[in-house]
Amino acid sequence: MNKHRHFIINKPYGFVSQFVYTQKRKKKLLGELHNFPEGTMAIGRLDVNSEGLLLLTTDGKLSAEICSSKVEKEYYVQVDGIIDDKAIEQLQKGVEIGLFGKRYTTTPCIAKILTIPPSFALRSRKIRDERHGPTSWASITLREGKYRQVRKMTAAVGFPTLRLIRVRIGELYLGELGDGEVQEAQDLNKVFN
């Protein structure tokens, strides 16, 4: 029996969380970052504009386990404006967002203001400059992962997301992994079971 392989990557801005993209427009794919073995899949997704921790595996069963609501995912979000306690409280309780043409109320989550902005490398595409007003950072930790959920949540409380970086999945942290860097992980089954 072949041993499954697992990878931890820092997905850069502008990459699709896929290996195959069948749409007409050319997109940057994960396979451009490393020579992954056949059958490697992303565990969950980060949209093209999102960055940060992404796990890859050849083990479909493990992928389903990590995507489940048992595992927390933490995101650092840079938002338009100075986010306040009222908005954080709303996020914590759950907010109503649109999801495929229907209304959906997010489950309660952990949200907090980051008083000291994180020191990530500059993004390949500039976000904007100070002339357009102040920005601030928050941490949002979820156990669910609906389509573009974090972006929709911050917009629902009046602070649209400008930059989104996943920093943690369960007990695995992005840490010092550089933009686009790939690390092979020993056995993610031990981490998530």
Three-state DSSP class for 152?
A: helix
Q: In terms of domains, do 100 and 26 share one? A: no
Per-residue pLDDT tens over the stretch 131-183? 778 999 999 999 988 889 999 999 999 999 999 999 999 999 999 999 999 99
Q: Quick one: pLDDT at residue 172?
A: 93
Residue 95 in any domain: the answer is: yes
Q: Quick one: pLDDT at residue 1?
A: 46
Q: In terms of domains, do 80 and 131 share one? A: yes
CATH of residue 17's domain is: 3.30.70.580
Q: In terms of domains, do 164 and 78 share one? A: yes
SS3 content of the chain, % helix, strand, coil (to 5): 20, 35, 50
Q: Quick one: pLDDT at residue 145?
A: 85
Domains in the chain: how many in total? Answer: 2
Query: Do the beta carbons of residue 72 and residue 141 sit within 8 Å?
Result: yes
Q: In terms of domains, do 50 and 133 share one? A: no
Best mean pLDDT range from 109-113, 125-129, 132-136, 178-182: 109-113
Three-state DSSP class for 183?
A: strand
Q: Quick one: pLDDT at residue 2?
A: 62
Rg (CA), the chain: 17
Task: Determine whether 47 is an active site residue.
Answer: yes
CA distance 74 to 173: 9
CA distance 6 to 92: 32
Per-residue pLDDT tens over the stretch 42-101? 998 899 999 999 999 999 888 888 888 889 999 999 999 999 999 999 999 999 999 999
CA distance 95 to 99: 12
CATH of residue 124's domain is: 3.30.70.1560
What residues contact 118, with CB distance under 8 A and at least 6 apart?
Answer: 76, 137, 165, 167
Residue 62 in any domain: the answer is: yes
Higher pLDDT, 77 or 24: 77
Burial class of residue 61, CB neighbours in 10 A (0-12, 13-18, 19+)? exposed
What residues contact 113, with CB distance under 8 A and at least 6 apart?
Answer: 83, 84, 85, 88, 136, 137, 138
Residue 1 in any domain: the answer is: no
The number of helices, as runs of H, and strands, as runs of E, in the chain is: 4, 13
Q: Quick one: pLDDT at residue 188?
A: 79
Query: Do the beta carbons of residue 111 and residue 139 sit within 8 Å?
Result: yes
Higher pLDDT, 5 or 193: 5
Q: In terms of domains, do 22 and 39 share one? A: yes
Query: Checking DSSP bridges between strand 102-105 and strand 6-11, what pairing results, if any?
Result: unpaired
Residue span of the structural domain in which 106 resides? 73-169
Cα distances from 145 to residues 61, 95, 120, 157, in angstroms, run 18, 14, 23, 18
In order, the DSSP letters of 126-145 are ----GGG--EEEEEEEES--
